[in-house]
Amino acid sequence: LADSSNTSQSSLNTILESIFGIQTGFVGKALSKIASLKLKEATDVVNDKHLKPWSDLCKAHNILNTPLTPYIDQELLYNNSLSIDGSAITGTGFQYDHPNITE
């Protein structure tokens, strides 16, 4: 499903920053296109950036085992759209209880 408010990565990041008191960022279409051509290298860079801090955070809070991970496999990104058009579900008459993402 997709929300009906045309949520963008930027608007979602703003909400996440507010809720968790963190800084977020994203890359534009050009860098995304380059990354899609070198998917293995891109996922390696992302995993190298996030796995160590995640491990350190878990250790700092004595979390020894968790089903959550920042690791991403390149197969999860290959041939998958990064945006979703929700018109097919709403075209059936489906209505969201919470159509807009908010804090």
What span, in angstroms and rounded, lies between the C-alpha atoms of 6 and 20?
Answer: 22
What span, in angstroms and rounded, lies between the C-alpha atoms of 56 and 63?
Answer: 10
Sign of the four-CA dihedral 69, 55, 49, 13 = positive
Q: What is the pTM of this model?
A: 0.56
**What is the per-residue pLDDT across 24-36, written as a single tens digit (0 to 9) for each?**
877 777 777 777 7
**What is the per-residue pLDDT across 44-91, written as a single tens digit (0 to 9) for each?**
998 999 999 999 999 999 999 999 999 999 888 777 666 677 888 888
What span, in angstroms and rounded, lies between the C-alpha atoms of 23 and 17?
Answer: 6
